[in-house]
Amino acid sequence: MKLLVTGASGKLGRELIKVFPDSYHPVHEQLEITDRPRVFDFVKENLPEAIIHCAAITGIRECEENKELAWQVNVRGTENIVDACIKYNKFCYFIYVSTACVFNGDKGAYKESDLPQPKNFYSLTKLLSEFIVKRAELSKWLIIRTNFVAREKWPYPKAFVDRYGTYLFADDLAIAIKSVVDKQFTGILHVCGKEKLSMFDLAKVTTHDIKPMTLDEYIGPPLTRDMSLESERITAFNITK
């Protein structure tokens, strides 16, 4: 299967190309997803049989402060790739990596059938991109909602003790994605960890000297409090600690 991975230089993309070593994984200079003509030319030339689209701006603060860029990359970029597939290979298996943040985060344990309610601009762009994928004339698509971090030192001096998710590390998630792609799942699928963790407990796995903080100390764009997911379709995955 000729597989294209977008966002291959990102935290998840780097892990995906390890589990899909024969995939196309162009760098940003080779495939700029906001450049519609280049996207169309790339798809026409390579005719991928499957695409895992994980290229996105994921920083909540960055998306809030630069909405135009977030829109162009997250929404228009997705639209460009989907439209190119429709034109040149509508039988391509299109896998879109979305986020648990499409939900409000007020209750947690969100299932595939629960109602999304974005809380910030980042999550809005991801939900709109889900609609682009669902409404496209593609013969086979899969939307994966998930929540992950890289298995590396926590990038901040503190982590929230009162913000939760069913996290996976990026390497765990890449293996999980391979398992659902190999089984040719379609529709919306929650790919999540079995264990509900606070961000502080998650950060301690890789950063033992991490300091705790609460959402009351936070100043910035609105954040989801409980991003935990459940799946009505598959069994949750183990997070490797």
Residue pair 86/129 in contact by the 8 Å Cβ criterion = no
Tell me which CATH homologous superfamily contains domain 3-217: NAD(P)-binding Rossmann-like Domain (3.40.50.720)
Average model confidence (pLDDT) across the chain: 97
Asked whether the whole model's pTM tops 0.95, one would answer: yes
Domains of the chain: which residue ranges?
3-217
Q: Is the pLDDT of residue 136 over 90?
A: no
Q: What is the pLDDT of residue 216?
A: 97
pLDDT digits (tens, 9 = 90+) for 3-30: 999 999 999 999 999 999 999 999 888 8
pLDDT tens figures, 172-224: 999 999 999 999 999 999 999 999 999 999 999 999 999 999 999 999 999 99
Report, as an integer, the average pLDDT of 28-57. 96
pLDDT at 155 over 90: yes
DSSP output for the chain: --EEEESTTSHHHHHHHHHSTTSB---TTT--TT-HHHHHHHHHHH--SEEEE------HHHHHH-HHHHIIIIIIHHHHHHHHHHHH-TTSEEEEE--GGGS--SS--B-TTSPP---SHHHHHHHHHHHHHHHS--SEEEEEE--EE-SS--SSSEEESS-EE--EEHHHHHHHHHHHHHTT--EEEE--BSS-EEHHHHHHHH-TTPEEE-GGG--SS---SB--B--SSS--BPPP-
pLDDT tens digit sequence for 77-99:
999 999 999 999 989 999 999 99
What integer pLDDT is reported at residue 29 of this predicted model?
A: 84
